[in-house]
Structure formats: C-alpha cells, structure tokens
A = this chain, B = another copy of it.
Amino acid sequence: MKLKLKLKILNIIAGRPVSFIHPANARKLNIHAGERIEISKGGKKIISITDVASKIVKENEIGFSKELLRLFALSNHDEVEVNIALSSESINIISKKLHGKELSRKEIINIIKDIVTNSLTEAEIAYFVSAVYEKGMTLKETIYLTEAIYKTGKSIKWHTNKIADKHSIGGIAGNRTTPIVVSICASAGIVMPKTSSRAITSASGTADAVETVSKVDFNIEDLKKIVKKTNACLAWGGSLGLAPADDKLIRIERLLNVDPESQLIASILGKKLSAGSKYVLIDIPYGNNAKVTKKEAKRLKQKFIKIGKHFGLKIEVVLTPGNEPIGNGIGPVLEMRDVLRVLKRENPPIDLENKSIFLASKILEMMKKAKKGNGTELAKSILNSGKAYKKFLEIINAQGRHSFSLKNPKFKFNIYSSKSGKITEINNHKINSLAKLLGCPADKNAGIYLYYHVHDKVKRGDLVLTLYAESDIKLKEAIFIIKRDSPIQID
C-alpha cells in the first residue's frame, strides 16, 4: 500500500536522517516506529527510519529532519509517495561476511548502494565494519569496494590530466602537513585540488583544521573556480558528494576507532578516483602507537600500488616514522597554529616542517618540477621565500577566509613533569583519546599542546603539556585520565 503524504520540513536535527509520520498513516502502512519507509518523488527515492508522532505532523503529512532534507532536497508541502521499505538483501550479505565468506562484486556494490540510500541502520553498518575488520577482505574484494565507493558518488573531471594529490593513512596526532605541502606544490605550478576528510581515529582531520580559518564545504562548481584561480584547494570531501558511502562508514568506524585495512585502502583510493586525481602520494606512518607496524606498512604499500594500478593511478608510497605526535598542537585550532608557524617562518615546529618538506619534495619530483634528488631544495626555497604562505592565503581567501578566530578555549590545565629525565614515549593513541575527551574535533579550540618530543630532556617541574577544553566537565575528565595513565613516559 502506497500513501501520498505532504512534506513538512521540521526544525529538528536528529544526528541522522529521520522522518516523522502520523500514527494513523503508520497503521495504514503497517509500519512501526524505528522501521524504515521508502519515500519517492519523480523517480528519485530514499529510505528513512521513521518516528511515529502526532501533533508535530498531522494525518497525511510527513515530517523531515534537517538531515533527511539534505539527502532529498524537496520543498515544504511537496507531495511524496511513501511505502514500507522491504528488508534489505544487504543484511544477508553482511551476515555472509560475518561468517568469513568472500563477497562478490555485485554483493559489495549492493551494500555500498544501501549505505548511500540510507537503507541500512547504523547498527547494521557497524556489523559490516566489524565483519570486515575481523575477517578482512581479499585484494579482489578491496578492488570492488574501492569501485563501489567511487561509483556511488559524483566525480570531478579537470581541465588537465596532471592532477596531483597526497594522502596520509592517519593515526598520528598533530601531523597537519597537508596545508603546507599543498601550498608549496601549488606555488610551483602543480594543480593540486586537495579534498580531505574529517578526523576518523585522530583528534582532527585536515578538514577540521582548515575549517578554523576558512570555509571548507563547497559544491563541485565552486571548487573548480577555486582551483582555477589558485591551482589548489583545501576542501572537505564530504560536502562534494564524491564518496557519500565513505562518509557514513567513517562515522561508524569512529565510534570504536575501528579502521579495517581494506576499508582504509578503498576509502582513500575511492576518494582519489572521485576527485579526479592521477598522481597520488600516499604517506604511511608506521611504528609503535601508529596505525601499522613497519611490516604491515610494507604490505599495505604493495596493496596501494596494485589497486592504484588497477584503476590507472600513478601511486608513490612513502613510509614515515609515526612513533610520536608531529608538531606541538593537537586539535583543529592548535594544529592550524602550527601550520601557520611553518608557513610564516615564525618559530616553526621543526618535525612538522621537515615532514612537510619531505612530502612536498616527493610530489615536486613526481610531477617533474624538480629532478630526482632536487625536490627538497626546491621545496625549502619555496617555503623560505614566503611564496608558500602567500599561496596558502590565496587559497583560503578563495575559499572564503574567516577572521582567523584562533581563540584560546575557555578552560586550560597545565601538566608539569613529576621527575627529571629523558622522554622515552609520547603515545599517539593516548594523546588522540585525550584530545577527543577534551572535545576534539567538534570543539575546534579544544586539544593538547605538547612542549617536548621523544628524546628531549626535562627537569622535574617543567611544563610538559597543556590541556584545553570548552567545557569544565570534559577538562576534569581528561585531567582524571591523564593522571591515571599518562601519555608521556620519562625515564
């Protein structure tokens, strides 16, 4: 039985796309609260979880939460057709993976399509992520997953084929090299339209950090204008509709800090393909507290190269040390401050600067702007000349610059060393969870400032780190945790 209902846009942000229907219509559809309905209009359709509500919607009305409206842009009072949504075939496919069986191309595409059209609940997606995490995926399955993530979204065609890109697999606190690398490379004439994700397992993604100084969400047309003007961009991939499945997967992965290898590869390469990139530098930080060990990093490198080749990408992979955080600040604003210190040549964190130059040199060489071995020199000279900073300002101006609101957050707490000695460990995982506890990445100003690195010597009473938060309860919780289990070891 199909019903024709009139759309009512509700002022409700539910954290997920939800519709609201009247009990009388729910009875007619034979549907119960929390179940899924199919909403269609003019050949387009979407699936939505539905709440049953009187008062806020009348009989024969259907209410849309803001999130649902974003997925299915309609106007108030539009008439839509509503029907029960049949239980998805994907359930059986996820169950198959949970039992350790290999999935076919068709099955993987089915799941990813269902994620995009909202046909799977968050709990069901969690089962999928968990099954892939536990059982792994073959190279074939990873290729299908990459393809599915790529093809279920939009993609960008550029005026040239020489599109460069970089990506880090993440997991290292701080490590905000991207704005620096992009500014250097774009100064050298390389076209580098960089789209980044928000934080998955770390406290801040590039998109979270750049958002503290400019807009990051654009449609494809606006993005093209920015790139035409500046050779580059520093945008959030999520708003472009490039890989909508990936954004939902990341949301679920983030809940438990789960990031299965095959999903990591498919997520990165799927987005690179959608973004129209051809030359891609992949950074794999390895080591204690990094996402991968050196051995795993080497295996991952081979997989990136093989799968990239399958899709016609030129891929270069570098393995970089990932034992400790990079830069001093952890958290969107604090990381952006580090970036600006490097670009403006004002007391730059040396580890962040060196890593950025290294990555930029690889891209300069790959794109033939420098001969093999000469990339570092070129990158350094661009940075020192102030050209990179100028390029950065150009990019963020084109993106719509904010009045650099890099305020100090409301609450802070200093941690001092309880003994003298040498720092032997700064644990990435613990730093990341602390920063998240402090409110990152949603609270832009929250985070951690580190005054030392591994191998530095400290004296008893030295200030070793500062915690920043927007809420006193979050700060208190972080203080409790850091006192119980410090991320910094001194011996």
- A residues 77-122 near B (Cβ < 8 Å) are 83-84, 86-87, 91, 94-95, 98, 121-122
Residue in contact with A13 in the complex, picked from B52, B65, B477, CB distance below 8 Å: B52
Partner-binding segment picked from A251-259, A293-301, A342-350, A398-406:
A251-259
Encode contact with B along A49-72: 1 for CB under 8 Å, 0 otherwise. 101111110000000010000000
- Determine if A222 is an interface residue (Cβ-Cβ < 8 Å): no
Residues of chain B contacted by A474 (CB below 8 angstroms): 30, 84, 86
Residues of chain B contacted by A139 (CB below 8 angstroms): none
Residues of chain B contacted by A65 (CB below 8 angstroms): 51
Chain B residue with Cβ nearest A38: B473
Residues of chain B contacted by A53 (CB below 8 angstroms): 10-13
B13 touches A33 (CB 8 A): yes
Interface size grouping (class) on chain A: 35 or more
A255 touches B91 (CB 8 A): yes
B473 touches A15 (CB 8 A): no
- Determine if A353 is an interface residue (Cβ-Cβ < 8 Å): no
- Determine if A436 is an interface residue (Cβ-Cβ < 8 Å): yes
A51 touches B126 (CB 8 A): no
Residues of chain B contacted by A443 (CB below 8 angstroms): 30
Residues of chain B contacted by A437 (CB below 8 angstroms): 86-87
Encode contact with B along A206-231: 1 for CB under 8 Å, 0 otherwise. 00000000000000000000000000
Residues of chain B contacted by A257 (CB below 8 angstroms): 95
Residues of chain B contacted by A122 (CB below 8 angstroms): 121-123, 126
Residues of chain B contacted by A462 (CB below 8 angstroms): none
- Determine if A125 is an interface residue (Cβ-Cβ < 8 Å): yes
- Determine if A442 is an interface residue (Cβ-Cβ < 8 Å): yes
A124 touches B56 (CB 8 A): no
- Determine if A24 is an interface residue (Cβ-Cβ < 8 Å): no
Residues of chain B contacted by A155 (CB below 8 angstroms): none
- Determine if A439 is an interface residue (Cβ-Cβ < 8 Å): yes
- Determine if A360 is an interface residue (Cβ-Cβ < 8 Å): no
- Determine if A470 is an interface residue (Cβ-Cβ < 8 Å): yes
A98 touches B13 (CB 8 A): no
A52 touches B130 (CB 8 A): no
B15 touches A20 (CB 8 A): no
A477 touches B86 (CB 8 A): yes
B473 touches A256 (CB 8 A): no
Q: Knowing A84-B474, A98-B133, say if A255 contacts B124 (CB, 8 Å).
A: yes
Q: Knowing A11-B55, A437-B87, say if A1 contacts B471 (CB, 8 Å).
A: yes
Q: Which of A49, A130, A437 has the most CB of B within 10 A?
A: A130
- Determine if A316 is an interface residue (Cβ-Cβ < 8 Å): no
CA gap between A126 and B471 in the complex, in Å: 30
- Determine if A377 is an interface residue (Cβ-Cβ < 8 Å): no
- Closest chain-B Cβ to A94's Cβ sits at a distance in Å of 6
- Determine if A141 is an interface residue (Cβ-Cβ < 8 Å): no
Q: Knowing A86-B477, A473-B1, say if A121 contacts B255 (CB, 8 Å).
A: yes
* Contacts A/B (CB < 8 Å), 29 sampled: A1-B471, A10-B53, A10-B55, A10-B56, A12-B20, A12-B52, A13-B33, A13-B51, A14-B33, A30-B439, A32-B442, A83-B473, A84-B471, A84-B473, A87-B436, A91-B256, A98-B133, A98-B134, A122-B126, A123-B123, A123-B255, A124-B255, A126-B126, A126-B130, A127-B130, A127-B255, A127-B256, A130-B130, A134-B134
What 3 pairs across the A-B complex have the smallest Cβ distances?
Answer: A15-B34, A13-B33, A126-B126
> Besides the contacts A14-B51, A32-B442, A124-B255, what 5 more A-B pairs have beta carbons closer than 8 Å?
A12-B53, A14-B18, A51-B65, A55-B56, A87-B436
Residues of A participating in the B interface, judged by any CB pair closer than 8 Å: 1, 10-16, 18, 20, 30, 32-35, 49, 51-56, 65, 83-84, 86-87, 91, 94-95, 98, 121-127, 130-131, 133-134, 252, 255-258, 436-437, 439, 442-443, 470-474, 477
